[in-house]
Amino acid sequence: MSGVPQPSGPRVSVVVPCFNSLRFLPATLDTVRTQTFDDLEIVLVDDGGSDDLAGFVAGVDDERIRLVRQDNAGVSAARNRGIAEAAGELVLCLDADDLLVPEAIALLVGAYDAAHDDPGLPLGMVYGWSDVVDEHGVSSGRVRSSDWEGDVWSRLVTRNVVALGAALVPAAVYRELGGFRVNRDRFAVDVEDWELWIRLAAGHRVALVPQVVLHVRRHGSNSTAGGATETLEAAYRYLLGQVFDDPALVTARPGVDLDALRAAATATAEMRLAWHSLNDDGAGDAALGYLRSASRHDPEVRRTGEFWRLRAAAGAMQVLGSDGYERVRGLNSALRRRVRALGGGSG
């Protein structure tokens, strides 16, 4: 479109923070290098890892790859370094273990170009759906989907529907917002992506690609696996305090019931913590505690299918134990995959 700025460099920069990432990075990189959209560069940020990332890159015959190395500073700082180094007009931040579908960037760029000149708030992000796969790339059948687009702040503040690697953001917007908050010294596990989307949506609209563009890989080395629920809870509570305790919010969103939004956001966070308690910690009692708290904050969650799925899952763990729960979980994943294969919805 005529109104879309024409960059002098690559149209898209894919920024990949790396820290001892060579177990999964080659597969991730392959999904970027084989995109149907090829006007891109790949910025790998080595965040002080001890593996031979430089040697690996030297063996990959692709001049679009650039490697930047820094002392270890955490994933948010590594993303910010990659964004600062990016030459592209648009930036996609991809985790080193996730996988793009072949047409992901083409779909996101196409949606960006189609929506760029629409009136109203400036366009700040295009995002697509994502699903969850295991360490071998096998789908769990779980899809993170949404129909939210336009001015979505009042909804996005209650729930994060945007997977990081499924979002394409103008580099200028990332830089305007100051990038991702660096909270590593405060939280071992953070929710820095949701925090950034909330800030972005306060002054920008978003556009949507209503199909899966990203496979999010879940495995034992994920930062949220293996007992990280406590620090994740602290990160959620800090985020909600930063958003809703800001005095400027009252004047920025006149007429909005901020108390109701805060209650809904808190309940959403607690249901996410309930899932982590089950799937990462094997703690059914803790999951039920989070569920009870969520329903106290926002009774409307009891009307959702997710609430009752969580309650059933926590009950199954209490009755069957961790091994029995994992068997049930595996059967549910197989059923979801079957339903998706038959065209039975987004899951």
Statement to judge: residues 282 and 257 lie in one domain = yes
Higher pLDDT, 169 or 333: 169
340 pLDDT tier (thresholds 50, 70, 90):
low
**Chain-wide mean pLDDT for the chain?**
91
Statement to judge: residues 154 and 17 lie in one domain = yes
Count of structural domains, the chain: 2
Residue 346: inside a domain: no
pLDDT at 222: 54
- pLDDT higher than 90, residue 38: yes
Are 219 and 134 in contact by the 8 Å Cβ rule? The answer is yes
CATH of the domain at 43: 3.90.550.10
pLDDT at 51: 97
Instruction: Give the lowest-confidence range in 183-197, 228-242, 317-331.
Output: 317-331
| CA pseudo-torsion sign 159, 163, 169, 175 | positive
pLDDT at 250: 82
Residue 267: inside a domain: yes
| CA pseudo-torsion sign 313, 314, 317, 320 | negative
pLDDT at 279: 86
Statement to judge: residues 210 and 234 lie in one domain = no
Domain termination site, one of 217, 245, 261: 217
Are 45 and 15 in contact by the 8 Å Cβ rule? The answer is yes
- pLDDT higher than 80, residue 310: yes
Statement to judge: residues 202 and 104 lie in one domain = yes
Residue 282: inside a domain: yes
Domain range enclosing 241: 229-341
Q: What is the pLDDT of residues 53-73, one digit of tens each?
A: 999 999 999 999 999 999 999
Residue 31: inside a domain: yes
Residue 158: inside a domain: yes
Instruction: Give the lowest-confidence range in 124-128, 238-242, 251-255.
Output: 251-255
Are 307 and 111 in contact by the 8 Å Cβ rule? The answer is no
- Percentage of the chain with pLDDT > 70? 90
Statement to judge: residues 191 and 292 lie in one domain = no
Residue 205: inside a domain: yes
- pLDDT higher than 90, residue 320: no
Statement to judge: residues 246 and 291 lie in one domain = yes
DSSP notation for 37-89: ---EEEEEEEES-SS-HHHHHHTS--TTEEEEEE----HHHHHHHHHHH--SS
- In 3D space, the residue among 112, 102, 110 whose CA is nearest the CA of residue 36 turns out to be 102
- pLDDT higher than 60, residue 206: yes
Residue 252: inside a domain: yes
Statement to judge: residues 40 and 181 lie in one domain = yes
pLDDT at 343: 62
Contacts of 331 (CB under 8 A, 6+ apart): none
Statement to judge: residues 296 and 336 lie in one domain = yes
pLDDT at 296: 97
Statement to judge: residues 208 and 233 lie in one domain = no
Are 12 and 109 in contact by the 8 Å Cβ rule? The answer is yes
Statement to judge: residues 209 and 237 lie in one domain = no
pLDDT at 101: 98
Statement to judge: residues 257 and 212 lie in one domain = no
pLDDT at 13: 98
Q: What is the pLDDT of residues 147-175, one digit of tens each?
A: 999 999 999 999 999 999 999 999 999 99
Statement to judge: residues 149 and 274 lie in one domain = no
Residue 300: inside a domain: yes
pLDDT winner (highest mean) among 180-189, 255-264, 279-288: 255-264
